[in-house]
Amino acid sequence: PYLGQGGHAYLQEWLWWAGLLCMGVGEAANFAAYAFAPATLVTPLGALSVLVSAVLSSTFLNEQLNVHGKIGCILSILGSTVMVIHAPQEEEVCSLESMAEKLKDPGFIVFAVCVLVSSLLLIFVAGPHYGQSNVLVYVLVCSAIGSLSVSCVKGLGIALKELFSGKPVLKEPLGWVLLVCLVICISIQINYLNKALDIFNTSVVTPIYYVLFTTAVMMCSAILFKEWQHMVLDNIIGTISGFLTIVSGIFLLHAFRDMPFTPDLLPLFLQQGRADLHASWRSADRHQSCRHQPLLPSEDKGSQSAEEEEEE
C-alpha cells in the first residue's frame, strides 16, 4: 500500500523488518562462509540466492516463471553441484600474520594496483563519456572493487576466529585496516551498482555483474590464496564447467524473464509438425464421429422422403 509514495511508512510494517532481519542473517552467514571455505567456491554459489528468489517470487508474489526460467534454475543447481564436487583447496591461513604475508606477495600487489588504476580510469575517464550508453563501465567498477572487498572479508573472518579463540586481535592494526578498506569497497560497489541499475534494465545488469564479479573474485583468490596451484586437470575443468553452467542458468533466468513462451516461438519445422499433428488428430476425430454416428438422422430422412411422396 505504500509503494510509490516516496515516504518511510514502510518502517511501520513488521513484514519489512522481518525481511531486513532475514537479509542480515543471510549476509552474516555468507560472511562466515568466506572464513571456512575457498572464495572460488563461496562466490559462485551465491547464484543460488538468485534461484531461491525466483522460486519464492513465483510462489508468493505470483510472478511468472516461464520455461526459460525453469531451465535456468535447473542449470544453476547442476553447475553448483559440479563446482562443489571439484572445489579447489586454498592454502591454510590461520592468523593475521600469515594473512599479512600473503598481502605482501608481489603478485597480489600487482593485481591490486591494476584493479585500482583500472577502476579510476573507468570512473573518471570512461564514465563521463560512455557510462550512459555502455553497461560494462559501471559494472566493471563494481566487479573489480568487489574482488578486493572479498579479500578484506576473508581477512576479517580470520580475525574474528582469532578473537573468539581469545587472542588480542583488537590490538592488531591489520584488522582495522581491512575493516576500513571493506567499508570503502562496499560503498563504491553500492554506488556504481545503483548507477548501473538506474540507467539499464535489471535483467541486463544482473547476469553481467554476476559473471564479471565472480570472475574477478576467482582471479583474486587464485593469486592471493594460491587456490589453483595444486589442482589437477580434471578438477580445473570441472570447476570451470560448473561456473559456465551457472552463468548459462543465470542468463536464461534473467534475460528471458519477461518473455512469454508460446508455440509461435518454436522453430518453423516444429510448428509445421505441430500443425500436421493437430490436423491428423482432427481428421481422426472426424472419422471416428462418422463411424459412431447414430441412425436417427437416416430414419428422419426416410420419413421426410415418404411424406414428400404422399404430398405429391
State residue 56's pLDDT score: 76
pTM of structure = 0.70
Residue 77 pLDDT: 83
pLDDT for residue 5 is more than 50: no
**pLDDT tens-digit series, residues 26-67:** 877 877 777 777 777 787 777 677 777 777 777 776 767 777
Place of cell 554476476: 210
pLDDT at position 117, please? 94
Confidence at 299, pLDDT banded by 50, 70, 90: very low
* pLDDT the model gives residue 2: 44
pLDDT value at position 109?
92
160 vs 180: CA distance, rounded Å: 15
With cut-offs at 50, 70 and 90, classify the pLDDT of residue 248.
confident
Which of the residue ranges 2-6, 139-143, 156-160, 181-185 would you say has the lowest mean pLDDT? Answer: 2-6
Digit-coded pLDDT (tens) for 15-29: 878 877 887 788 778
CB-based contact 200:142 (threshold 8 Å): no
244 pLDDT above the threshold of 80: yes
Q: What pLDDT does 180 receive?
A: 93
Tell me the per-residue pLDDT of 108-166, one tens digit each, with 9 for 90 and over: 999 999 999 999 999 998 888 888 888 889 999 998 998 898 888 888 888 888 888 87
User: How far is the C-alpha of 141 from the C-alpha of 96, rounded, in Å?
Assistant: 28
- Report CA Rg, the chain: 30
Q: What pLDDT is attached to residue 118?
A: 93
Average pLDDT over residues 92-109: 83
**Residue 309 Cα distances to 71, 169, 209, 297, 312, angstroms:** 71, 116, 87, 19, 5
pLDDT at 55: 75
Alpha helices in 165-232 (DSSP H): 173-199, 202-224
Question: pLDDT tens across 251-292, in order?
Answer: 887 777 666 666 565 565 555 555 555 555 565 555 554 454
Q: Tens of pLDDT along 78-90?
A: 888 888 888 776 6
d(CA 146, CA 220): 10
